[in-house]
Amino acid sequence: MKLIILGAPGSGKGTAATVIREKYSLAHISTGDLFRYNIKEQTKLGIEAKSYIDRGALVPDDVTIRMVADRLGNDDCKSGYILDGFPRTTAQAKALDELLAKTGDKIDAVIHVITDDDIIMDRVTTRRVCEKCGASFNVKYMPSKVEGVCDVCGGKTVMRSDDNPETVGKRLETYKENTRPLIDFYNARGIIVEGNNNVDSATCIKSIEDGLARLNLN
């Protein structure tokens, strides 16, 4: 099964993707995580990407598409995957179609996570992530047992450099302009599955699972 998960930055798509990937045994491909890994390792790709990410802008399509194409060639993708954070532009969606067509593959469903802007702003600016293992916490809603320390690995929890209110605002604008049109692009194929994440992620994930079942995906 090949899935895409779409939603505004901070809508909770990463959390939903983690549950869905476990349930259906999929590889989880997060372009944000791939970029952050490259930034940490100070690769050429990471250094280029950082300047865009810190402004709340998108990393250029050619760089992003090459990175994803490369990742999809890994063995763990053979039995299916969930793409989290890609495609984010119409050009990326078209490039993905072309890539899949080469092997006669297609995307089975596109999960759309819906969350209101004011809820996103509140959740993202209070989010903390573990520097070491990437686990996510929230000082208001899901604090770690000891402030600043990861429950999972004992690493340090920090604010992501792009989680300040100004950059979050930019990321929301970028989403509306570049990524939201993809909902119509995939809706035309009848493969959109919705989950509303305004209340909690359990409710959101339940409706995603029901939606996938309606498309006979399991």
For ligand ADP, the binding residues (CB under 6 A) are 9-10, 31-32, 35, 52-53, 56-59, 64, 85-86, 88, 92, 162, 171
* Contact assessment for residue 62 and residue 8, using Cβ atoms and an 8 Å cutoff: no
Task: Based on the shown chain and the rule CB under 5 A, indicate whether residue 156 belongs to the binding site for Zn ion.
Answer: no
Cis peptide before 60 (omega within 30 of 0): no
Does 152 sit near Zn ion (CB under 5 A)?
yes
Among Zn ion, ligand ADP, none, what binds residue 12 when CB lies within 5 to 8 Å by partner kind? none
Residue 115 CB, shortest distance to Zn ion, in Å, is 25
Taking CB under 5 A as the criterion, the residue among 97, 155, 198, 217 binding Zn ion is: 155
- Contact between 193 and 112 under an 8 Å Cβ cutoff? The reply is yes
Cβ of residue 101: shortest distance to ligand ADP, in angstroms? Answer: 19
Nearest Cα to Cα of residue 20 among 38, 36, 5:
5
143 binds Zn ion (CB under 5 A): no
Output DSSP code: residue 57. P
* DSSP designation for 141: T
Instruction: Please identify, among the stretches 61-69, 88-96, 135-143, 198-206, the one whose residues bind Zn ion according to the rule CB under 5 A.
Output: 135-143
Which residue lies nearest ligand ADP, judged by its C-beta? Answer: 32
Rounded least distance, CB 101 to Zn ion, Å: 39
Q: Per the residue annotation, which of 2, 71, 123, 127 is the catalytic one?
A: 127
Which residues are within 8 A (CB) of 110 and not within 5 positions of it... i.e. 6 or more apart? 3, 4, 5, 6, 182, 186, 191, 192, 193
The answer to whether the CB of 45 falls within 8 A of the CB of 65 is: no
Please give the biggest Cα pair distance in the chain.
Answer: 50
Residue 171 known to be catalytic: yes
Q: Which amino acids are annotated catalytic?
A: 13, 88, 127, 160, 171
Binding site for Zn ion (CB under 5 A): 130, 132-133, 135, 150, 152-153, 155
